[in-house]
Amino acid sequence: MPDLVGDCPFPLGRHPNADELTAASTKWLVDGCPELSPKRKQALWGLQAGLLTARCYPYCPPERMRIVADFLGYLFHLDNISDGMLTNETSVLADSVMNAHWFTEKYMPTNGQPQQEISAGKLARDYWARCMKNCKPGPAHRFKETLEQFFESVNLQAQDRDANQIPDLESFIDIRRDTSGCKSTFDLIEYAYDLDVPQEVLEHPVIEALKQGSNDLVAWSNDIFSYNVEQARGDDTHNLIPIFMEHHNMNLQEAVDKVGKLCKDTIDAFVSNIERIPDFGDERVNREVKIYVQGLQDWIVGSLHWSFETERYFGKDGQKVKETRIVPLLPKRAEET
């Protein structure tokens, strides 16, 4: 693997409540998914989503940190249960989850939704009700908007999976910027630090470039980290590595090297764009932009290091892989329940 950690110049943080946060948030998620098999529940404990939160929001107040951690763990859970779903099944999941965000007080099924709320909806209603107690209007609106974009992209991914189709590079990159879930997690930077950055500031070309750069780095590095387990279960169509292999006639190592080069270029561009942030003519806005961009930077470095701390990609061998950057390919196997 490329030396992505070595390519990243940013300092790594860690919230002091990381261990306590991880335990409490994981218990909330496991208790809220009684239908999961013991193996899948154990995988949620190995995920260490609370530690990812502690890495990417290291200065967040503890009470807000817990809500962010609950969402990050939940987002991975959505990724797990949507993998392998048919297109119509992802639509049912999306409708149930978004119902909880639009009707926070109680479950109000619309046409086509089950009369009994599924666990994914109940979990979403729980964390969102807590979040809305002190979330400012701007990030609350943006969060719901970007979460809907996430589900739309998951639906497109399911269509490709149904057709056994590997998308071309340009189409994939557009979809991947939404399937990563990063847009919603970036909205939570504002929630975590009690910000409400004006929409026109977030849409400034330099800020847009910084958001896209952090998103691309997180998503593309994840394609490297997750490739092995995805290829082993035969679910690797939405990943940059097989796209370069399929459409650009590369072997596996060439494709991995290519994605690594894209990641390094993205980090370098992010560093350059930090120097281009303008003065927005308002002291409060400038302060909030500085905190927000720090959050985007923390996501880059935090996600890179966490990917070797979680058991999601390399099992118990994360530290060894981090040191050697050698990944033995897993044999092909059927999807485990």
Reported as a single tens digit per residue, the pLDDT across 12-54 is: 999 999 999 999 999 999 999 999 999 999 999 999 999 999 9
pLDDT at 185 exceeding the cut of 50: yes
Reported as a single tens digit per residue, the pLDDT across 247-288 is: 999 999 999 999 999 999 999 999 999 999 999 999 999 999
pLDDT of residue 314: 97
| b/e 218-235 (16+ beta carbons within 10 angstroms → b) | bbbbbbbbbbbbbbbeee
CA pair distance 27, 142, nearest whole angstrom: 28
pLDDT at 121 exceeding the cut of 60: yes
Reported as a single tens digit per residue, the pLDDT across 70-110 is: 999 999 999 888 876 777 788 889 999 999 999 988 888 87
pLDDT at 190 exceeding the cut of 50: yes
Residue 281: both structure tokens together: 């003519």
- Residue 246 vs residue 236, higher pLDDT: 246
pTM over 0.85: yes
CA pair distance 17, 29, nearest whole angstrom: 18
Question: One-letter amino acid identity for 138?
Answer: G
CA pair distance 264, 242, nearest whole angstrom: 19
pLDDT of residue 236: 74
CB-CB neighbours of 134 under 10 Å: 11
pLDDT of residue 303: 98
How remote is the C-alpha of 186 from its chain's centroid? 9
pLDDT at 336 exceeding the cut of 70: no
CA pair distance 32, 100, nearest whole angstrom: 15
Question: One-letter amino acid identity for 334?
Answer: A
Residue 302: both structure tokens together: 């935090």
Residue 6: both structure tokens together: 């070595």
Name 20's Cβ contacts closer than 8 Å, sequence gap at least 6. Answer: none
Helix (H, G, I), strand (E, B) or coil at 165: coil
**To the nearest whole number, what is the mean pLDDT of the chain?**
94
Cβ contact 94:151 at 8 Å: yes
Name 192's Cβ contacts closer than 8 Å, sequence gap at least 6. Answer: 57, 60, 61, 64, 65, 68, 295
pLDDT at 60 exceeding the cut of 70: yes
CA pair distance 284, 208, nearest whole angstrom: 19
Average pLDDT for 127-139: 97
- Confidence band of 334 (pLDDT split at 50, 70, 90): low
Portion of the chain with pLDDT greater than 90, in percent? 83
pLDDT at 337 exceeding the cut of 50: no
CA pair distance 307, 327, nearest whole angstrom: 14
Q: Which of 53, 57, 45, 55 is nearest to 71 (CA)?
A: 53
- Residue 337 vs residue 146, higher pLDDT: 146
For tokens 């979403």, name the residue. Answer: 124
Residue 325: both structure tokens together: 């950057």
Reported as a single tens digit per residue, the pLDDT across 207-239 is: 999 999 999 999 999 999 999 999 998 877 889
Q: Give the chain's radius of gyration (CA, Å).
A: 19
- Phi, then psi, of 196 in degrees rounded to 5: -150, 80
CB-CB neighbours of 88 under 10 Å: 11
